[in-house]
Amino acid sequence: MNRVPVEKKVLNENQQIAEKLRARFRDNNVLCVNLISSPGAGKTSLLERTLQSMDRNTRVAVLTGDIQTENDADRLKRFGFPVRQITTGGTCHLDARMIEKGLEGWSLANLDILFIENVGNLVCPSSYDLGEEAKIVVLSTAEGEDKPLKYPSIFFKSELMILNKIDLLPYVSFNLEQARQNARRVHPEIEIVEVSCTTGNGLSQWLAWLNRRLAAHHLEPIEQVG
Amino acid sequence: MNRVPVEKKVLNENQQIAEKLRARFRDNNVLCVNLISSPGAGKTSLLERTLQSMDRNTRVAVLTGDIQTENDADRLKRFGFPVRQITTGGTCHLDARMIEKGLEGWSLANLDILFIENVGNLVCPSSYDLGEEAKIVVLSTAEGEDKPLKYPSIFFKSELMILNKIDLLPYVSFNLEQARQNARRVHPEIEIVEVSCTTGNGLSQWLAWLNRRLAAHHLEPIEQVG
């Protein structure tokens, strides 16, 4: 049997919905970013740190994908921003239709940033456009510096690599310079920020990236708390 | 469009090939195990440690899957055992046909253990039977103790959970007892061994598990070197 045409049809259908979402984000001046990583690389921790650092008047919302549990939404709701869990029930990635459904009832006109946290998977989510302005790949130092070469698609498609868990560098075999080189070999223009969601190191660089993106939308910079 | 019947057909086709492989492994008394984990959890490091500890006369071979590179096969070939890379070219899992093809030219009659290292992905590989006797899930302490609940399918289908990177326990937020409970909540009979491929701690338990499985095949225990 021939699987390729079926896969193409699914992806084309996804692309059509993604383009509609992209137009809605553009019309409402919403910055939408799609966070992708392996399980446990720290997407939820990064969002916790990000939401924690924001003034509650910032117009931010989160759609967080998971196969089975609502744990991530429970972790993220504490910060007082709108958060919805998308439980895929076994599907290995978020698709555009899930995002469309996840947004139901939310007014995009009242939003500046939409964070999408994808299912923990470094492979499949890279094939599904969600209408986002930028994909962001999160890589943990515990995973090894070879990952951009082994999973090139997501590093090629991401505008930013967030290298997380730099606090573990003294305890893991991870060549930081080689990791940067590997990411740039796959994608020469990729931006890189290095953070620790445990210590908070480097997070200001990530927030600066977000603020540059907001500025491009002529939106107010994120107000940091404390 | 209706995707489910197509997926079912692909999986049924896979199942037929997997059953043929299982019969071949059984007829030749080969213990075949299928190692599955997130990217960077340590499957290759575990195999390096395993091959390193074995007498070269042990009849072991490895098929190692990756999306793009041959890095893993290069790392594993150093130990003198037959190793072949299966490069999936984008596909997020190994399937039974890839294994059938990967085995071409190898005589199963001359083999006691076949290790299959799957693509780094905690989701999709759990759906594809490769004819193995046992699936083994490798979880790293850097990923967090919640993963069995968030990715239940692979923990439910695995006979053994290898909890790797226990050397990082002092430096990461990981509740070991909770991780065990979460794994057993999904799969009450799952066996658990805790190892560090960096320090070598706990590896004897993993080799003991392998030897128990070989004994069930009435095969000689693995001869350890040194």
Q: Which pTM does this prediction carry?
A: 0.94
Min Cα distance B136 → chain A (Å) is: 17
- Which of the residues B7, B12, B150, B197 would you substitute to probe the A interface, choosing the one with the greatest number of A C-beta atoms within 10 Å? B150
Facing B121 at nearest CB: one of A121, A143, A144: A121
Q: Does B144 contact A67 at a Cβ distance shorter than 8 Å?
A: no
Span A147-178, pLDDT tens digits:
999 999 999 999 999 999 999 999 999 999 99
Q: Does A67 contact B150 at a Cβ distance shorter than 8 Å?
A: yes
Q: CB-based contacts of A134: which residues, under 8 Å, 6+ apart?
A: A33, A34, A158, A159, A160, A213
Give the pLDDT confidence score for residue A220 in this predicted structure. 83
Q: How far apart are the first and last CA of chain B?
A: 60
What is the average per-residue pLDDT within A101-120? Answer: 97
Facing A92 at nearest CB: one of B40, B92, B172: B92
Span B82-131, pLDDT tens digits:
999 999 999 999 999 999 999 999 999 999 999 999 999 999 999 999 99
> What mean pLDDT is reported for chain A?
94
Span A39-79, pLDDT tens digits:
999 999 999 999 999 988 889 999 999 999 999 999 999 99
Which of helix, strand or coil describes residue B205?
helix
A2, pLDDT greater than 70: no
B190, pLDDT greater than 90: yes
Compute the distance between CA of residue B151 and CA of residue B149 in angstroms, rounded to an integer: 6
A1, pLDDT greater than 50: no
Find out whether A151 and B67 touch, Cβ atoms under 8 Å: yes
Compute the distance between CA of residue B137 and CA of residue B147 in angstroms, rounded to an integer: 11
- Residue found under tokens 């072991």: B60
Q: Does B151 contact A39 at a Cβ distance shorter than 8 Å?
A: yes
Q: What percent of chain B has pLDDT over 90?
A: 88
Q: CB-based contacts of A43: which residues, under 8 Å, 6+ apart?
A: A35, A36, A37, A117, A118, A120, A138
Span B45-85, pLDDT tens digits:
999 999 999 988 889 999 999 999 999 999 999 999 999 99
Give the pLDDT confidence score for residue A4 in this predicted structure. 57
Give the pLDDT confidence score for residue B225 in this predicted structure. 76
Residue A105: CB atoms within 10 A of its CB come to: 7
Span B13-41, pLDDT tens digits:
999 999 999 999 999 999 999 999 999 99
Facing A10 at nearest CB: one of B3, B10, B143: B3
Q: Which residues in chain A have their CB less than 8 angstroms from residue B173's CB?
A: 198
> What mean pLDDT is reported for chain B?
94
Q: Does B92 contact A90 at a Cβ distance shorter than 8 Å?
A: no
- The DSSP string of A18-48 is HHHHHHHHHHTT-EEEEEEESTTSSHHHHHH
Q: Which residue spans within chain B are E strands per DSSP?
A: 31-37, 60-66, 83-87, 113-117, 134-140, 158-164, 191-194
CA nearest A126 in B: which residue?
Answer: B90
Min Cα distance B195 → chain A (Å) is: 15
Q: What percent of chain A has pLDDT over 70?
A: 97
Q: Does B68 contact A152 at a Cβ distance shorter than 8 Å?
A: yes
Facing B67 at nearest CB: one of A3, A121, A151: A151
From residue B206, how far is each of A40, B60, B75, B209 by CA, in Å? Answer: 24, 16, 20, 5
Residue B3: CB atoms within 10 A of its CB come to: 12
Q: Does B140 contact A144 at a Cβ distance shorter than 8 Å?
A: no
- Selection from B157, B67, B159 nearest residue B118 by Cα: B67
Give the pLDDT confidence score for residue B2 in this predicted structure. 45
Question: Which helix (H) or strand (E) is A12 found in, with range?
Answer: helix A4-27
Long-range contacts of B103-109 (CB under 8 A, 24+ apart): B103/B21, B103/B63, B106/B61, B106/B82, B108/B24, B108/B25, B108/B27, B108/B28, B108/B30, B109/B28
Q: Spell out the SS3 assignment of A68-114.
A: CCCHHHHHHHCCCCCEEEEECCCCCCCCHHHHHHHCCCCCHHHCCEE
Between chain A and chain B, the number of residue pairs with CB atoms below 8 A apart is: 126
The identity of residue B210, as a single letter, is L
Residue A225 phi/psi, 5-degree rounding, is -90, 140
